[in-house]
Amino acid sequence: MKKKLFFRSLLLGVTLFPFFTQAQSALHFDGVNDAVTTNFGAVAGNNARTIEAWIKTTANTDPGTGGVQNVICDWGANATGARFTFNVLFGGKLRLEVGGSGVNGNIVVNNGLWHHVAAVYNPSATNKVAIYVDGVLDVQGNFSTSTISTGTTVKFAVARRVDNINFFLGSIDEVKVWNVAKTGAEIAANMNTEYCATQTGLIGYYKFNNGIPGGNNTTNTTTLDYSGNNNTGTLANFNFVGSTSNYIAGPTLTLSTIDASVSASGNTLTANEAGATYQWVDCNNANTPVGGATSQAFTPAVDGSYAVIVNKNGCIATSTCQNVVLASDDFQLNNQIKLYPNPSNGIINLDLGSHFNSVKTTVTNISGQVIMERNNENIAQLELNLNAPNGIYFVSVVVDNAFTKTFKLIKE
């Protein structure tokens, strides 16, 4: 006899809803020699580009008071107009420079808080340079150098300049390199977003999410490029243990598009997000991974409570847990029994899909108090009149003293 899945849940149907925000990990740089290096040429010549990152620092970056430039990212060549250096400099404010010229920001960012920072170069604009802090325009203007031609001698690096000086002291996360000039509206709208799918124009994307904050990360010496271009970064000179020169907790961002809902058919649970990696876990055992359950579809072997962790392009979302009961029968009760309309004005129809010898229907309110209880025999359909105040109720249907389905009902 076949085994079929039945679900005891306070949700109508079998959709499991995911969580969409998560605290990121980030990288802390020691300001001495920590850097992320790549073989990525980024954007060359005089072409449009945008750099974005989250930074957190208290470093003294003002040369007038003994500080030094702290470089967020850089690439090119060490010649006039040939490098593209995004950094924190005078008075703890942002600066974008190209060798021989630069544009200085006005907003202090070395105050120990997480800030989203962005630098845009648009060769077609009147003001070719724009710098943003936390989605707000900080400054716009132009380089005094007449020729901008970013070189390719030194590849893209995070936290150091092309001549291997002025290392960043503090934390950096979510570094994005675009080959387009993003608008202020686009930057503001998406600065809190961690992308879960490739984006047009995004040619380098370093999330720094593959380490354990404050843990032993001695094996995590590379960082993935989630732009789809596979420009892997190498973590150079990090200690990889403790709260500095290591992975640390980052800002809390919103996952853009990832679906951790789950559908059920027959014996099988299926994660609705395709093209990802999956790990099914046992919610009744401290979310222990189920051995071998790493496919999009999962068939439980025993009764229990299960969820799925979906990882797509570095974004991770986890479904809610769902109680699963394996029963020996040939019909799919969970998909068979229907309740409608929902929301309802109080008149509720139950379609059982076929006749059952006994049907017990119980309606409870959100506090668990029984509002209505009905016992019927040899029926396939049932109408209920819920004479109760508007609100949320739960309708539990038990057929043949064996199988249960619970609906969440809204009366309005």
Same domain, 213 and 110: yes
Same domain, 302 and 371: no
Same domain, 49 and 70: yes
pLDDT at 327: 54
To the question of pTM greater than 0.85 for the whole model, the response is: no
Q: Of 254, 289, 319, which closes a domain?
A: 254
Q: Of 225, 254, 283, which closes a domain?
A: 254
pLDDT at 269: 85
Same domain, 321 and 361: no
- The first and second tokens of residue 311, run together, are 């990882």
Nearest alpha-carbon partner for 43 in 123, 115, 117, 100:
123
For residue 243, with 0-12 CB atoms within 10 Å meaning exposed, 13-18 middle and 19 or more buried, which class applies?
A: exposed
pLDDT at 17: 38
Nearest alpha-carbon partner for 102 in 118, 85, 114, 116:
85
Tens of pLDDT along 137-160? 999 999 998 799 999 999 999 999
Same domain, 121 and 211: yes
CA–CA gap between residue 177 and residue 195 (Å, rounded): 13
Q: Going residue by residue through the chain, which has 412 residues, state the pLDDT in tens, using 9 for 90 and above.
A: 233 344 443 333 334 333 344 447 999 999 999 999 999 999 999 999 999 999 999 999 999 999 999 999 999 999 999 999 999 999 999 999 999 999 999 999 999 999 999 999 999 999 999 999 999 999 999 999 879 999 999 999 999 999 999 999 999 999 999 999 999 999 999 999 999 888 999 999 999 998 989 999 999 999 999 999 999 999 999 999 999 999 999 998 877 667 878 887 766 788 998 888 999 999 888 888 999 999 999 988 887 888 899 888 777 788 878 777 665 443 456 677 899 999 999 999 999 888 888 999 999 887 778 889 999 999 999 999 999 999 888 898 988 887 778 888 999 9
pLDDT at 334: 67
Same domain, 322 and 192: no
Strands 315-318 and 304-312 turn out to be antiparallel
Number of domains in the chain: 3
What's the CATH code of the domain at 62?
2.60.120.200
Alpha carbon distances (Å) from 165 to 33, 34, 74, 82, 103 = 8, 11, 11, 17, 20
What's the CATH code of the domain at 10?
2.60.40
- Concatenated DSSP letters of 10-40: SSSSSPPPPP-EEEEEEEEEESSS-EEE-S-
Q: Of 191, 222, 254, which closes a domain?
A: 254
Same domain, 44 and 179: yes
Same domain, 250 and 262: no
Same domain, 135 and 36: yes
Q: Range of 349's domain?
A: 337-411
Q: Could you identify the residue written with the tokens 């038990």?
A: 398
Same domain, 92 and 108: yes
Same domain, 13 and 35: no
Same domain, 225 and 322: no
